[in-house]
């Protein structure tokens, strides 16, 4: 756990949950602690620490474990879940684009609540929708059940029977996606403001299944990569390959079980209207086999051919592409060429780099040692046979690239950049808070005046209360905050790619 990651998590907690939660989270960053230990080290009251822990537990940002043989629990921070808060807008946008406005409303409410029952969540979502009729309630209920069936919502293991539920889900994970009993009449009563003593799904809590979203984001990265390198038909072909893979393999395995060609063709014929793809399916699979991404490997020739999707290898290639792009932006195309030469040769001497990369000697040395200084390259020394000294003339100096080390370094840069971006955005917002509030008040007043049918001259007089210098400052602040937010989204996408690489390196086949 790095300092940059700790700073980023700290500023995210402060931005979304306040100072007390940030203080407790920052203290837990050093390691697991008990409630008593947190009260002592944070100098907060027991009540404040308990409330902060309750918030962190509700949003799955902290886990607890009862110490064996003792009557207290130790709390541990989940850093990966804190980072996911930056990805919440992306989850909502995905729902909006793929499953509609109602699904986006439900996901947004559940992300905001952290953990909630279906009845309460649906009633809250209907309140935020434009229509509040009975059909709207039924539509939200059906969409909620649809999202459970699609595994976007997952049962939370909390409450009185949490131990029993945890035990039963270990043997049968499908219990986490069992549809709850939701009474429409209870929802309608809640919409009218009447009290419902005990809804039928009381005690059944739900939260967002981040893993399912990540699976779709991962698949989108792969399909987009193939579309850029080859064409749309090849991307569509790979999408059917993935669908076939999920029928026989866990979605997160580094490589799939063999997929028969007949099954891929069947998927294409049933789901695709692309006649060109169906006609030249064998050729597109052959292109995917030969592609440098190494996304596909032939397992055998049985039944027209069996193929394996290689998730681990493809993310290794994509990580290298990301590293090369970073080097190209920072040091130019020649530096990227040097990295490719080192990658190809695995271990190479300085003199051979300039020959293979076809770069002048002086420039090649400068770029090589610049990459070494920035930790994109590493050196390995081998003593010459029969030499007793340790000087440069007594050993070979070989250059190599350690992908795991470079990816870790790039992730640290992403953490630092995200922290700087969020801090700057918060600073701009706080310094110009008066102007921003004034502008928002004016907009709401003007909106109300337009609804009442006030004259344009009167509306213009109201708008002129914001002076031209103030408008100019406000416009600059808005542009800067918007560009910082766009950079935050781009950094999160890069971070997701690097996290996928790390996940498949750790995962055992």
Kindly tell me the number of DSSP H helices and DSSP E strands found in the chain. Answer: 24, 12
- Mean pLDDT, rounded, for 464-478: 85
Q: How many C-beta neighbours within 10 Å does residue 220 have? A: 12
Q: Check pLDDT > 80 for residue 394.
A: no
Q: Are the beta carbons of 311 and 502 closer than 8 angstroms? A: no
Query: What's the CA gap between 382 and 402, in Å, rounded?
Result: 17
- Mean pLDDT, rounded, for 25-51: 91
Q: Angle of helix 19-28 relative to helix 46-58, nearest 10 degrees?
A: 80
Q: For residue 447, give the 3-state DSSP assignment.
A: helix
- Residue 312: predicted pLDDT: 93
- Residue 390: predicted pLDDT: 56
- Residue 509: predicted pLDDT: 40
Phi, psi (rounded to 5 degrees) for 332: 100, 175
- Residue 387: predicted pLDDT: 57
Query: What's the CA gap between 431 and 451, in Å, rounded?
Result: 33
**pTM metric for this prediction:** 0.89
- Mean pLDDT, rounded, for 469-479: 88
Q: Which of the given ranges, 229-233, 276-280, 493-497, has the highest pLDDT on average?
A: 493-497
Query: pLDDT, tens digit, for every residue of 171-202?
Result: 888 888 888 888 888 888 777 777 777 777 78
Tokens (6 digits) for 242 = 């993935």
| Residue 493: closest CA among 238, 218, 294 | 218
What residues have CB less than 8 Å from 208, skipping those under 6 apart? Answer: 91, 107, 110, 111, 152, 153, 154
Tokens (6 digits) for 506 = 């750790």
Q: Does domain 3-77 have CATH number 1.10.10.10?
A: yes
Q: How many C-beta neighbours within 10 Å does residue 230 have? A: 17
Query: What's the CA gap between 397 and 382, in Å, rounded?
Result: 7
The full 3-state SS of 243-277, as one line of letters, equals: HHHHCCCCCCCCECCCEEHHHHHHHHHHHCCCHHH
From the candidate CATH numbers 3.20.20.140, 1.10.10.10, 3.40.50.410, 3.40.50.2000, the one assigned to the domain spanning 331-401: 1.10.10.10
What are the contacts of 166-171 at 24+ separation with CB within 8 A?
none
DSSP β-bridge partners for residue 109: none
**pLDDT range class, residue 450, cuts 50, 70, 90:** confident
Same-fold call for 220-309 versus 331-401:
yes
Q: Does domain 220-309 have CATH number 1.10.10.10?
A: yes
Q: What are the residue ranges spanned by the domains of the chain?
A: 3-77, 81-208, 220-309, 331-401, 406-505
The per-residue pLDDT of the chain, averaged, comes to 88
| Residue 505: closest CA among 404, 418, 433 | 404
Q: Are the beta carbons of 264 and 278 closer than 8 angstroms? A: no
- Mean pLDDT, rounded, for 14-41: 91
């Amino acid at each position: 756990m790095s300092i940059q990651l700790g700073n980023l998590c700290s500023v995210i907690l402060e931005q979304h949950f306040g100072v007390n939660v940030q203080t407790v989270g920052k203290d837990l960053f050093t390691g697991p602690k008990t409630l008593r230990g947190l009260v002592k080290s944070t100098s907060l009251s027991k009540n404040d620490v308990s409330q902060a822990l309750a918030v962190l537990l509700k949003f799955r940002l902290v886990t607890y474990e009862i110490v064996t043989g003792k009557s207290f629990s130790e709390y541990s921070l989940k850093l990966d879940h804190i980072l996911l808060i930056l990805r919440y807008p992306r989850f909502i946008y995905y729902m909006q684009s793929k499953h509609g406005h109602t699904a986006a409303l439900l996901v947004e409410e559940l992300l905001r609540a952290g953990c909630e029952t279906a009845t309460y969540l649906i009633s809250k979502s209907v309140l935020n929708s434009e229509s509040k009729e009975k059909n709207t309630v039924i539509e939200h209920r059906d969409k909620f059940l649809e999202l459970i069936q699609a595994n976007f919502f997952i049962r939370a293991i909390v409450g009185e029977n949490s131990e029993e539920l945890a035990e039963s889900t270990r043997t049968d994970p499908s219990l986490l996606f069992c549809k709850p009993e939701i009474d429409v009449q209870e929802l309608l009563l809640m919409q009218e403001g009447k009290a419902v003593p005990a809804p039928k799904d009381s005690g059944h809590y739900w939260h967002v299944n981040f893993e399912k979203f990540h699976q779709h984001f991962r698949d989108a990265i792969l399909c987009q990569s193939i579309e850029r390198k080859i064409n749309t038909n090849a991307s569509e072909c790979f999408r059917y390959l993935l669908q076939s893979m999920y029928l026989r393999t866990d979605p997160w395995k580094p490589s799939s079980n063999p997929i028969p060609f007949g099954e891929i063709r069947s998927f294409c014929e049933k789901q695709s209207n692309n006649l060109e793809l169906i006609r030249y399916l064998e050729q597109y699979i052959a292109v995917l086999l030969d592609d440098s991404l190494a996304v596909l490997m032939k397992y055998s020739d049985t039944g027209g051919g069996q193929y394996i999707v290689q998730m681990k290898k493809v993310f290794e290639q994509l990580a290298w592409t990301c590293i090369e792009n970073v080097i190209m932006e920072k040091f130019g195309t020649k530096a990227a060429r040097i990295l490719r030469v080192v990658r190809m040769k695995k271990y190479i001497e300085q003199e051979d780099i300039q020959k293979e990369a076809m770069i002048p000697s002086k420039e090649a040395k400068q770029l090589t040692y610049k990459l070494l200084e920035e930790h994109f390259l590493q050196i390995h020394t081998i003593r010459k046979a029969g030499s007793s000294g340790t000087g440069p003339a007594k050993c070979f100096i070989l250059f190599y690239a350690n992908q795991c080390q470079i990816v870790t370094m790039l992730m640290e840069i992403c953490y630092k950049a995200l922290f700087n971006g969020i801090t700057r955005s918060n600073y701009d917002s706080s310094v110009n808070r008066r102007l921003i509030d004034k502008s928002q008040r004016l907009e709401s007043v003007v909106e109300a005046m337009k609804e009442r049918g006030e004259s344009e001259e009167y509306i213009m007089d109201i708008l002129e209360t914001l002076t031209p210098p103030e408008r100019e400052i406000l416009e600059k602040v808005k542009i800067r905050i918007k560009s910082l937010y766009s950079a935050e989204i781009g950094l999160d996408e890069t971070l997701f790619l690097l996290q996928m690489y790390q996940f498949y390196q750790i995962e055992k086949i």
